[in-house]
Amino acid sequence: MKSKTNLIIAILIPLAVGAVSAYLSRQGMEAYAMVKQPPLSLPDIVFPIVWTILYIIMGISSYLIYTSDSIKKDNALKWYGVQLTLNFFWSIIFFRFMLFLPAFIWLVLLIIAIAIMIYKFYGIKPVAAYMNIPYLIWCLFAAYLNFGVYILNK
């Protein structure tokens, strides 16, 4: 039972981070609708669906690391926390404050932190690392969109 509870908590943590970040970013969403978008922009409905799936996968992968016997798990989970913190603030910088260039730079830092986290996870449980590759790819796509919005709206 404890294991199941830990898994649920591990999934709820990134979901809560995403939900609070979205809540704090909501004021800028209306203004963002007026911003010029780069090619390959997706309909707004896609983003919360994809992010929810990615947050669930993140939570499961963190659980796999947390429950491992590796002496390296604390360092790996530290990087998990770093990337989750960077993730939390990106949407606030981008949507609420519409600081597109600083948000892009922040996103580059997030991508680096995700890559480090994946590397650390791989040394403990490769499946946990592989689970985060879609997240890395999504953030690379987000960086393209973020930079495109910056260029089109400066």
Q: Does residue 121 contact residue 61 with C-beta atoms inside 8 Å?
A: yes
* Structure confidence by residue, pLDDT tens digits, 58-73: 999 999 999 999 999 9
Q: Which CATH class is domain 2-152?
A: mainly alpha
CA distance 82 to 121: 14
pTM higher than 0.75, yes or no?
yes
Confidence check: pLDDT of 103 > 80: yes
The domain segmentation of the chain, as residue ranges, is 2-152
Predicted confidence (pLDDT) per residue in 23-56, tens digit: 999 887 778 888 999 999 999 899 999 999 999 9
Mean pLDDT along residues 8-25? 97
- Mean of the pLDDT values across residues 78-101? 97
Q: How far apart are CA 14 and CA 84, in angstroms?
A: 7
Mean pLDDT of the chain: 96
Supply the pLDDT for residue 27: 83
Q: What is the distance, to the nearest Å, from the Cα of residue 115 to the centroid of all Cα atoms in its chain?
A: 12
